[in-house]
Chains A and B, each alone.
Chain A
Amino acid sequence: DIQMTQSPSSLSASVGDRVTITCRASQSISNSLNWYQHKPGTAPKVVIYVASSLQSGVPSRFSGSGSGTDFTLTISGLQPEDFASYYCQQSYSTPYTFGQGTKLEIK
């Protein structure tokens, strides 16, 4: 299985801040990396797919980059609705695997 290592596991930030979450794969996954936002009790939502493509309807303050084994999710200008958990997921090969998640909290 491809292991996904995500960091940090938690992050405190303020409205307006710029934050970056990283995800590392245990082997090259090309650009087959997706990012999801999850709020408790709701359906997880795609924010970035194939490493850097912004999902339709997602604000442009979200961006993704990387290829191979190292990836980042950046949120520029945090808004109150952005405080949630974020997960990376590789879709390069089955079994699909996820990072352990980053909980983004208000400072």
Chain B
Amino acid sequence: QVQLQESGPGLVKPSETLSLTCTVSGGSISSYYGSWIRQPPGKGLEWIGYIYASGSTNYNPSLKSRVAISIDISKNQFSLRLSSVTAADTAVYYCARQGAYTLLDYWGQGTLVTVSS
């Protein structure tokens, strides 16, 4: 059974960089896309972007200037960096595997990141 787990600091200071890692178990990430999605408190889901095993990326234009997603096939991990964070970036961050039909078929349970001094 494929499982994804997000990890990283739960508290980030304003203007700093948020960094999260998604570890995939039960299957290789090498033939799939890895996506990041977030949900601010009381708000809807927002797709942040994805990376393919080759390293090619696609980002939401609303965040593109601040986002970088990378992948480490050897560790079966992909990572998110979001720079110059503000309180508006406080959210539960999810990683997900994107499989056939561009479906987000497996998700992590999410990790809350709070931006506060």
- Residues of chain A contacted by B62 (CB below 8 angstroms): 95
Kindly list chain A residues whose C-beta atoms are within 8 Å of the C-beta of B101: 32, 34, 49-50, 91
Select from chain A the residue with minimum beta-carbon distance to B60. Answer: A95
A-B pairs under 8 A by CB, number: 59
Structural contact, A98 and B61, CB atoms closer than 8 A? no
Tally chain B residues at the interface, Cβ within 8 Å.
22
Can you show 28 pairs from A to B with CB atoms below 8 A apart? Answer: A1-B61, A32-B101, A34-B103, A34-B104, A43-B109, A44-B94, A44-B107, A46-B103, A46-B105, A49-B101, A49-B105, A55-B105, A87-B44, A89-B45, A91-B102, A91-B103, A91-B104, A94-B47, A94-B60, A95-B60, A95-B62, A96-B35, A96-B104, A97-B47, A98-B45, A99-B44, A100-B44, A101-B44
